[in-house]
Chains A and B, each alone.
Chain A
Amino acid sequence: MSTAAHPAPTWSRSDRVPWYIWTGAIAVTSATIGGAWDVSWHRSIGRDTFWTPAHLMVQACGVLAGIVGLWLVVNATLSRDRALRAASISILGLRAPLGVFLAGWGGVAMLTSAPFDNWWHNAYGLDVKIVSPPHTLLILGIRAVAVGMIFLILAAMNRAASHTPTPGAAHLDSEMWDTTTYANPVLFRRLQILFLYLGGLAIGGQMFFLQEYTADVQLHRIAPYIALGIGMPMVFALLWESSRFRWACTVTAAVYMACIIAEILILPLFPAQPKLGPVFFPLTHLVPAKFPVLLIVPAFALDLLWQRTRAWKPWQIAVVSGIVFTAVVFAVEWPFANFLMSKASENRFFGTMYFDYNSRPMGYDRLRHFFHPDHGVALYKGLGIASLCAMASTWLGLVFGRWMRGVQR
């Protein structure tokens, strides 16, 4: 490793969060709101065009990410901002922070998905399901933009936390958790808040992928617990490790739950009528998402656990975490699902009286009946599988999270 002949970078002197980081956070927020709105649109109205406000909010994410990316690439590549250039990586002669390249990749993926999706509609018809190849590319693109923005903040945050400018600082990761001396504590705290906010949106993004399994009528099956075990501990672990915040899981889970509860409170205020038939459940307003999984409880348990296991090896932490996560989420969500099936939850807060326009009167959802519940041996076996999945997921998250803590650029 050789030290470049540049003078010391000047980026850490200001307490202000750079405009491009704010813009990136707004871009991801826009895609999150647009995505939720679009799903609600399809559940309430059914039919749409390219120009719905929900679609425009998703596209705005790509546009804002593109503006941020272009500005950073031009400035870092053409050396207009030497500090920026020093804190960048190089791909095919272009320079920019890692997060910008990730977001740029996401932007190209989103861009590619548009003509691909249009062609798909022409070839195989309009969408009857969310998960099609072009939609997957679009979702992948949005997630890449979101992850890119997280990395953009992370690098700035890691630099602000860095107590030594010497080469090889990354090797000090394992000691940094409590002993970090902040080069710029004010900036670090601001960036950390933004990071946790975007982390919460990432939790929401992950839960979006799992929603087919985690609907309330499914919660007495084993499938949602396996799905949660695969999908969630990894994200919690990497956010916990990389955010340097002891309550990272609790806070990010709270952000996710607050977003969904806000959706339940806000979306029904907007009028909407189904434009596709058959309409088995007449509507006069937008239908919100189902009440969120009570992730804040297992997240709190993970925070408590990980605060006490920092000296452990990753695999040891993963084994215990997998069991704790699955046990807590099961202990909380299983009885809570009973409440969601009851009349008591049919109110503006829990929102279990909202249904899609095409929800059949005799369907499980409308009848508030659990769909094919699991019990006995199948249930315990399933919980075992869910725990194993959660262990593997935690381990991956821990390893990658620790790597992320060293990211400087």
Chain B
Amino acid sequence: MNDLSELRASSVQSSRPKRSAVERSLHFHCNRAAAHTFLARIVLALLATFAIALPAHAHVGNKDVYQTITAGPYKLFITIRTPIVIPGVATLEVRSVGAPITSLTMTPLLLTGEASRHPPTPDAMKQSPDDPAFYTGSLWLMSQGSWQVRFGIDGAAGPVETSVPVPAIPIAMLHMNRPMGLLLGGLGVILLIGIVGIVVAAVAESRLTPGVEPDAPHRRRAIIAGVFALAAGIGSVVLGAWWWNVEAASYAKNMHENAVFTTSLTGDTLALRLAAPDPKEIDRPLRKRDLIPVTTEDLLLDHGHLIHLYAIRYPEMDAVYHLHPAPTGDAGLSTQLPAMPPGTYKLFADIVFSNGFPETETATITIPANLAAAPLAPEDASAAPPPLSAGELGPSYKLPDGYTMVFDRPATINATTAYLLRFRLLDPAGQPATDMHTYLGMAGHAAFVKTDFSTFAHTHPDGSAAMPAVMLAEQSTEAASGNSPSMDTMTEPDGSPPMSSTVEFPYGFPVPGHYRIFIQMKHGSTVETGVFDAEVH
């Protein structure tokens, strides 16, 4: 099922520790109702023509991976469209934008563990006849978890291998749509009538000498046999529906659910806690396992922090904070909040598990008036753009210190299309800023948020994959091939010499709608947050 049009846009990820009773009930009820009997399924199929969409994992509502990767002289712009059911087929689009390449292969394998050391045979990607720099392919992801796609690049400069991490989880369960329900229901009825007819005719006529018509006793026996056949047929259908129900329930129980994320605000201290299904209970479905606290040992450092927390004021998006709560020593994290305008905030917290699997946890908090506030930490950032209701922001955003950030916005932006979105920082004289530095190891950070808060993605100039996962993929590739392709992702540690004032983010908006984009770049010791709006078709 690669047809996103069959799906409802993923609703905003639960901001509660667990799903609400209503949401659970809906999910449960739909699963149960869908599987009661075959006929019930058909009736339901007439009514339900949509899928239940479940929360996404990394980012929110952004399942696809958009990544640029530099390996030796080669540079690839990679789009990986992951399936929404697992096992499923991921489709890949790759554009070569560096040294010319002559062939490109792809291999799916897990990111960590023993399985990551036993890759299958690579598949050649298909070169476009019209555009020799463009390659496509598809591959199977057989289990949910933290995967990587390894690319074998060949060209004039010789062969090089590199990998992109791909988190794969089922995010939806289809319901049968009306035409399919009618088709299968119709064929099912034909099969039922058919088997009864065959039994009746077989008993009545099949043992008669050719040309002889069945007499009354034969016909009577045939009708009795037909009644038994009908009962057996209906019994088989009921049994089949029960089996279907069991299979559907088993699939639903293994649906991924983000870690349980709880927040508490005491004074100006925001405390965070995470809990996830016990990985030791491998024999139990995910949703039946006990929840155990996620400790800091379970997480990987991402740009020096275990958690990257965006707080965006609801509903106007007129205040945004990029914060980094630190471990508290009791399996939790906390941070002292800076001065924040009172109101409701949606929290988006990026974490990466030790197997490279990224999640964005969500929550909602209310900031009271007169919060005793700490100053913004040096690595934190904030902005106070005009509210959404004040109208769409233009492509040029005036920053508090006189600098300007410019968005070279494409004339039109279409959903699920891969773009390199370019942003430039200009000094007060309107010239490209010259005192640029990396911010948290990156030339820039971007947050793409749908204005109804239903999708969120925190990405970087190398793409949407989580940095620790990218590093694990690189380690895995190096272990396998012995070469060490240079990534342009970690080229500029903090404090390095000034760099370009232009950054590009590979990204594809997941669904049509209005988006607000928050871009962070650093010049001198100032972290700037530019804010832009985009209409996506």
Q: A126-B140, A273-B121 are in contact. Are A167 and B247 (CB under 8 A)?
A: no
- Contact among B174, B184, B197 with A112 in the assembled complex (CB-CB below 8 Å): B184
Size category, B interface? 35 or more
Interface-side segment among B13-21, B61-69, B205-213, B301-309: B205-213
B197-209 interface bits toward A, Cβ cutoff 8 Å, 1 = contact, 0 = none: 1101110111111
Instruction: Give Cα A221–Cα B420 distance, bound, in whole angstroms.
Output: 61
Is B180 close to A, CB under 8 A?
Answer: yes
**Nearest A residue to B140 by beta-carbon distance?**
A47
Interface-side segment among A87-95, A253-261, A345-353, A390-398: A87-95
Instruction: Give Cα A132–Cα B83 distance, bound, in whole angstroms.
Output: 20
Instruction: Give Cα A223–Cα B234 distance, bound, in whole angstroms.
Output: 30
Which of chain B's residues 79-128 have a Cβ closer than 8 Å to chain A?
A: 83, 85-89, 107-110, 114-121, 123
Please determine whether A89 and B211 come into contact, CB atoms closer than 8 angstroms.
no
Q: A108-B187, A409-B208 are in contact. Are A278 and B85 (CB under 8 A)?
A: no
Please determine whether B110 and A278 come into contact, CB atoms closer than 8 angstroms.
yes
**In the complex, which residues of chain A have a beta carbon less than 8 angstroms from the beta carbon of B109?**
277-278
- Contact among A90, A119, A133, A169 with B247 in the assembled complex (CB-CB below 8 Å): A133
Interface-side segment among A97-105, A298-306, A312-320, A367-375: A97-105
Instruction: Give Cα A407–Cα B59 distance, bound, in whole angstroms.
Output: 66
Instruction: Give Cα A192–Cα B136 distance, bound, in whole angstroms.
Output: 54
**Nearest B residue to A119 by beta-carbon distance?**
B180
Q: A1-B213, A276-B140, A279-B120 are in contact. Are A122 and B174 (CB under 8 A)?
A: yes
**In the complex, which residues of chain B have a beta carbon less than 8 angstroms from the beta carbon of A280?**
118
Is A116 close to B, CB under 8 A?
Answer: yes
Instruction: Give Cα A101–Cα B203 distance, bound, in whole angstroms.
Output: 13
- Contact among A9, A112, A126, A409 with B205 in the assembled complex (CB-CB below 8 Å): A409
Please determine whether B118 and A279 come into contact, CB atoms closer than 8 angstroms.
yes
Please determine whether B191 and A105 come into contact, CB atoms closer than 8 angstroms.
yes
Q: A112-B188, A276-B142, A279-B118 are in contact. Are A125 and B170 (CB under 8 A)?
A: yes
Q: How far is the CB of A109 from chain B (nearest CB, A)?
A: 6
Is A382 close to B, CB under 8 A?
Answer: no
Size category, A interface? 35 or more
Please determine whether B197 and A128 come into contact, CB atoms closer than 8 angstroms.
no
Instruction: Give Cα A86–Cα B210 distance, bound, in whole angstroms.
Output: 5
Please determine whether B209 and A166 come into contact, CB atoms closer than 8 angstroms.
yes
Please determine whether B208 and A101 come into contact, CB atoms closer than 8 angstroms.
no
**Nearest B residue to A132 by beta-carbon distance?**
B247
Is B485 close to A, CB under 8 A?
Answer: no
Please determine whether B121 and A275 come into contact, CB atoms closer than 8 angstroms.
yes
Which of chain B's residues 167-201 have a Cβ closer than 8 Å to chain A?
A: 170, 173-176, 180, 183-184, 187-188, 190-191, 194-195, 197-198, 200-201
Please determine whether B86 and A125 come into contact, CB atoms closer than 8 angstroms.
yes
Q: A108-B191, A126-B142, A133-B243 are in contact. Are A275 and B123 (CB under 8 A)?
A: yes
Instruction: Give Cα A9–Cα B211 distance, bound, in whole angstroms.
Output: 8
**In the complex, which residues of chain B have a beta carbon less than 8 angstroms from the beta carbon of A116?**
184
Which of chain A's residues 155-172 have a Cβ closer than 8 Å to chain B?
A: 155, 159, 162, 165-170
Instruction: Give Cα A111–Cα B86 distance, bound, in whole angstroms.
Output: 25
Please determine whether A89 and B140 come into contact, CB atoms closer than 8 angstroms.
no
- Contact among A102, A112, A274, A275 with B198 in the assembled complex (CB-CB below 8 Å): A102
Is A123 close to B, CB under 8 A?
Answer: yes
Please determine whether A115 and B183 come into contact, CB atoms closer than 8 angstroms.
yes
Which of chain A's residues 5-21 have a Cβ closer than 8 Å to chain B?
A: 6, 8-9, 11
How many A-B residue contacts, CB cutoff 8 Å? 176
Q: How far is the CB of B176 from chain A (nearest CB, A)?
A: 7
Residue among B89, B194, B210, B247 with the highest chain A CB neighbour number at 10 A: B210
B202-236 interface bits toward A, Cβ cutoff 8 Å, 1 = contact, 0 = none: 10111111111111001000000000000000000
Instruction: Give Cα A90–Cα B211 distance, bound, in whole angstroms.
Output: 12
**In the complex, which residues of chain A have a beta carbon less than 8 angstroms from the beta carbon of B88?**
121, 125-126
Instruction: Give Cα A352–Cα B213 distance, bound, in whole angstroms.
Output: 57
Instruction: Give Cα A104–Cα B198 distance, bound, in whole angstroms.
Output: 10
Please determine whether A408 and B207 come into contact, CB atoms closer than 8 angstroms.
yes
Instruction: Give Cα A279–Cα B170 distance, bound, in whole angstroms.
Output: 23
Is B240 close to A, CB under 8 A?
Answer: yes
- Contact among B85, B87, B175, B201 with A98 in the assembled complex (CB-CB below 8 Å): B201
Q: A89-B204, A98-B201, A125-B88 are in contact. Are A46 and B120 (CB under 8 A)?
A: yes
Q: How far is the CB of A69 from chain B (nearest CB, A)?
A: 12
Q: How far is the CB of A157 from chain B (nearest CB, A)?
A: 14
Instruction: Give Cα A357–Cα B195 distance, bound, in whole angstroms.
Output: 41
**In the complex, which residues of chain A have a beta carbon less than 8 angstroms from the beta carbon of B121?**
273-275, 279
Is A179 close to B, CB under 8 A?
Answer: no
- Contact among B89, B174, B201, B213 with A123 in the assembled complex (CB-CB below 8 Å): B174
Residue among A3, A112, A155, A168 with the highest chain B CB neighbour number at 10 A: A112
Q: How far is the CB of B112 from chain A (nearest CB, A)?
A: 12
Instruction: Give Cα A257–Cα B233 distance, bound, in whole angstroms.
Output: 34
- Contact among A112, A132, A167, A278 with B212 in the assembled complex (CB-CB below 8 Å): A167
**In the complex, which residues of chain B have a beta carbon less than 8 angstroms from the beta carbon of A104?**
194
Please determine whether B89 and A126 come into contact, CB atoms closer than 8 angstroms.
yes
Is A83 close to B, CB under 8 A?
Answer: yes
Please determine whether A276 and B208 come into contact, CB atoms closer than 8 angstroms.
no
Q: How far is the CB of A1 from chain B (nearest CB, A)?
A: 4
Please determine whether A1 and B119 come into contact, CB atoms closer than 8 angstroms.
no
B248-288 interface bits toward A, Cβ cutoff 8 Å, 1 = contact, 0 = none: 10010000000000000000000000000000000000000
Q: How far is the CB of B455 from chain A (nearest CB, A)?
A: 23
Please determine whether B142 and A128 come into contact, CB atoms closer than 8 angstroms.
yes
**In the complex, which residues of chain B have a beta carbon less than 8 angstroms from the beta carbon of A166?**
209
- Contact among A6, A119, A125, A273 with B211 in the assembled complex (CB-CB below 8 Å): A6
Q: How far is the CB of A89 from chain B (nearest CB, A)?
A: 4
Please determine whether B140 and A86 come into contact, CB atoms closer than 8 angstroms.
no
**In the complex, which residues of chain A have a beta carbon less than 8 angstroms from the beta carbon of B208?**
1, 167, 170, 408-409
Is A50 close to B, CB under 8 A?
Answer: no
Please determine whether A408 and B183 come into contact, CB atoms closer than 8 angstroms.
no
- Contact among B116, B184, B215 with A2 in the assembled complex (CB-CB below 8 Å): B215
Is B134 close to A, CB under 8 A?
Answer: no
**In the complex, which residues of chain A have a beta carbon less than 8 angstroms from the beta carbon of B243?**
133
Q: A278-B119, A279-B120 are in contact. Are A111 and B187 (CB under 8 A)?
A: yes
Instruction: Give Cα A86–Cα B206 distance, bound, in whole angstroms.
Output: 11
Q: A1-B215, A277-B115, A278-B119 are in contact. Are A98 and B206 (CB under 8 A)?
A: yes
- Contact among A105, A111, A407 with B207 in the assembled complex (CB-CB below 8 Å): A407
Q: A122-B174, A133-B247, A278-B118 are in contact. Are A408 and B191 (CB under 8 A)?
A: no
**Nearest B residue to A129 by beta-carbon distance?**
B247
**In the complex, which residues of chain A have a beta carbon less than 8 angstroms from the beta carbon of B419?**
none
**In the complex, which residues of chain A have a beta carbon less than 8 angstroms from the beta carbon of B119?**
277-279
Q: How far is the CB of B234 from chain A (nearest CB, A)?
A: 16
Task: Give 22 A-B contacts (CB < 8 Å), ordered by A residue.
Answer: A2-B212, A4-B211, A6-B211, A46-B140, A83-B210, A91-B200, A104-B194, A105-B194, A112-B188, A119-B184, A123-B85, A123-B251, A128-B87, A133-B240, A133-B247, A167-B209, A273-B120, A277-B120, A278-B110, A407-B202, A407-B206, A408-B210
Partner-B contacts on A (CB < 8 A): 1-4, 6, 8-9, 11, 46-47, 83, 86-87, 89-92, 98, 101-102, 104-105, 108-109, 111-112, 115-116, 119, 121-128, 132-133, 136, 155, 159, 162, 165-170, 273-280, 357, 403, 406-409
Partner-A contacts on B (CB < 8 A): 1, 83, 85-89, 107-110, 114-121, 123, 139-140, 142, 170, 173-176, 180, 183-184, 187-188, 190-191, 194-195, 197-198, 200-202, 204-215, 218, 240, 243-244, 247-248, 251
Question: Assuming A126-B88, A162-B209, A408-B209, what are 7 further A-B pairs, CB within 8 angstroms?
Answer: A11-B210, A101-B197, A115-B184, A125-B86, A167-B209, A277-B108, A278-B115
Closest CB pairs A-B (n = 4): A122-B1, A278-B115, A278-B118, A1-B215
